[in-house]
Each structure stands twice: as C-alpha cells, then as structure tokens.
Amino acid sequence: MSKIYALVVAGGVGERLGGDMPKQYLSISGTPILRQSILAFANHPAISGVRSVINEEHQDYYKRISQNLECLPPVFGGDTRQKSVRLGLESLTEFVPDIVLIHDAARPFVDAGLIDRVIAALETSRAVIPGIPVTDTTKKVSGEVVIETLPREQLSFAQTPQGFHFDTIMDLHKRFADMSHFSDDASLCEQGNVPVQVVLGNVLNRKITTMVDITQSIPHICVGHGFDTHAIGPGENVMLLGVSVPSGFSLIGHSDADVGLHSITDALLGAIGDGDIGIHFSPQDERWKGEDSGIFLKHAAQKVRERGAVISHVDVTIIGEKPKVSPYRDAMIARLMELLDLDRNRVSVKATTTEQLGFCGRGEGLAAFATATVVYP
Ligand code: CTP
Ligand code: MG
C-alpha cells in the first residue's frame, strides 16, 4: 500500500483574473476555490495527507477559508509556480511519501474518478498526467501569422493533479531549480528524460484563470414558491391548471379562479423576485374579470425570459377532497407544457386531500402550492 500525499499549490497572485482578492480565495457556489480543491483530496480515502502551498501575504485569507479542514498546516511558496512546488515537496519529505499528487488550487472541480485514474496509473509509471484530447484544428502561430497546422492526434491539454513517485519528482525539482520556466511538473520529467503517462482528464476540471471561468462555472439557479386559495361557491365546474373539471361546485374569484395556475404564476414571479400576481394583475382591474388565468402564467413566463433566465421546472400540488384530479392530470400537464413551452419531464402535477381537516377538508375552498426553478445560463 503506497503512502500518497497531495500538494495543492496556491501561492500565485491571480494577476490575469485581477480583483482585490486572489482568485483561489474567491467562492464559487458558496465554497472558496482553494477550500474546494483541498476537500477533493482530503475526502479521498487513498490520500494520507494534504498540504497547501500559499503566498506569505495571503495568511489571513487562508485562515478564513480553512476552518475545520483536515489537512496539514500550509507552507509558503515562491515567486513562480515551480518554486512553490519545490518548497512544498521539500516540506513533505519528513512524511516519506511514496507518491505525490501535485494540484493547482485553481482547479476546484477535480473529481474522485480523475484522482483514481492518476493513482492507478502510478502503479506502473513514475509520472502520470491527466490530459484532454484536442478536438479543434490547432495552429502554431507567430503573432497574427499562422506558421503551420499541428497534428491534432498528438496533442493533449495537460491538467492537474499530476502524479509522481515522490523521489523522482523531488530529485527533478532540485536538479532543475535554476531553470525556472516550467509551467507544470511533467515538463521537468521531459527535461530529465523520465517518461510521462497520460490518462484521461475531465473537461469539467478546468483551471480558473479569468473572470469568465468563474461566471461560466456558477449555475445561477433560483427557486420560487407560490401559494393560492379560492373559496368554493355554487356551480358545476372548476378551472384547475387550465382544464375545466366537473366538481359540483365552482371557485369564487375575480378571474377564472384557477388556484393551480395562480400558484405557479406566483412561484415564477418569486423565482425572479418580481412581486406577485396581484401586483401584475390587480383584482380591481375589470380587464381580468372572468379571464383565463393562462394569460397570467404566460405573462410570468415572459418576465422570466426578459430577465435572461429559462424555466427549468415547475411543480404544483392541488389541495382538496374534491374533485378527483387524477383523471385530468394528463390534460393539465399538457396545458402547462403548452403555456410554459416545457418538456414533459419539466412539469409536475400532484394532488392531495387534507384528510378532511381544515378549510379544504371541510369543502370550503381549494388551495395549491407550487415551486418554480429558473436558471440563468
Ligand atoms: N502558483 C503558485 N505559486 C506561484 C504561482 C502560481 O503556487 N508563484 C499556483 C497558483 O496559485 C495556481 C497554480 O499555481 O493555483 C496555477 O497557476 P496560475 O493559474 O497561473 O495562477 P496564478 O499564477 O495565481 O495566476 P496568474 O498567472 O494569472 O497571475
Ligand atoms: Mg501564473
């Protein structure tokens, strides 16, 4: 069983991304980038210890992002990535590792499967890197002039973690310490004639280099909630989710009193923080008297689109003892798909009774709850 350590290099200043805070301390979806990178290794069962290399000027930032992390105390890096790695490796010698995985803190999306592939290949190779096959035709250029087209089959984008037999890479870093221009650790192997094996990387394991990499990595998902209720009155049918359902009563309301569509409309408006149905369609406005509530829903969907968002999913629950919803569920779903322009698996219609409890249970009214999920691409 090999003793495997991970070295997460975070000593850079993030010049290309800019901003007040170095990029590795910014958060993506609530977790700081460096913390996310450390966790990927700290949570991996094959790894005995994780050490970060940080910039001496960033100690306060590090303190803030490293609460309750199970890892070794950090060491300070140097003014190039190569120096930072060497200082980190030297600090690990006391643990006598068999294998070290060297990872850029700026790649927070590294996954356990990728770490597994690198570790597995190290059983037979002294140096292993994850690579992504190049799919675009790739040119060698000089300024704005093309020199030649490179053979794509021979090209691969190198990622991290790059894995090495510890003694091999420690030795190379000492030997080439004065040739300070290597942007990854496999380059030192190439310089020292140590063969490097490539295993499949992961396109999601991108390096955060500029602000675009951060904004493209954040799934802006918002969820809105809606609730509506209408009193039962004399009549024969109710409008539920755009379908007229025989019920032996009606629902009292200014419009067609469709509780289901009203709750989804509010959920959509809630998801984009744009008030509620009463603000958009005043109950005092004569225009909406007896109106088909489908227009309210379509209006809310339009508002979502105007914000640059797309509706990902809506889910509604109708609450009442009567009428039975199940015979009409397919028709309701079809109507919602049409009104919202959504696929079948993005629309959900449910119903429940309240076991004869409360105003719905006593047959005084019907109610509906809804959620809507919108995504900002
Ligand atoms: N790194 C390091 N020590 C340095 C320079 C870089 O440990 N002196 C680390 C970075 O923190 C990063 C990784 O090496 O996790 C890859 O470097 P890069 O993406 O270039 O980050 P920065 O050097 O911080 O960014 P920039 O080049 O834009 O300044
Ligand atoms: Mg750099």
Where does the pLDDT of residue 30 fall: very low under 50, low under 70, confident under 90, or very high at 90 and above? confident
Does the Cβ of 180 fall within 6 Å of ligand 1? no
Q: Across all residues in the chain, what is the average pLDDT? A: 95
Is the pLDDT at 114 greater than 90? The verdict is yes
What's the rounded mean pLDDT across residues 207-217?
Answer: 91
The Å distance, Cα 105 to ligand 1 centre, comes to 8
Peptide bond preceding 73: is omega within 30 degrees of 0, i.e. cis? no
What's the rounded mean pLDDT across residues 139-164?
Answer: 97
pLDDT of 283 reads 82
What's the rounded mean pLDDT across residues 264-268?
Answer: 98
Is the pLDDT at 220 greater than 90? The verdict is no
pLDDT of 377 reads 66
Could you give the 3-state DSSP secondary structure of residue 164?
Answer: strand
Report which of 261, 255, 237, 213 is spatially closest to residue 322, judged by C-alpha positions: 237
What is the rounded CA–CA span in Å between residue 357 and residue 311? 34
CA 19, 55, 97 angle in degrees (round to 5)? Answer: 135
pTM: 0.72
The Å distance, Cα 309 to ligand 1 centre, comes to 34
The Å distance, Cα 106 to ligand 2 centre, comes to 10
Give residue-wise pLDDT tens across range 173-191: 999 999 978 999 999 999 9
Does the Cβ of 82 fall within 6 Å of ligand 1? no
What is the rounded CA–CA span in Å between residue 103 and residue 124? 20
Stated length of the chain? 377
What's the rounded mean pLDDT across residues 268-292?
Answer: 90
pLDDT of 307 reads 83
| Probe target for ligand 1 pocket from 9, 36, 52, 102, with the most ligand atoms within 8 Å of CB | 9
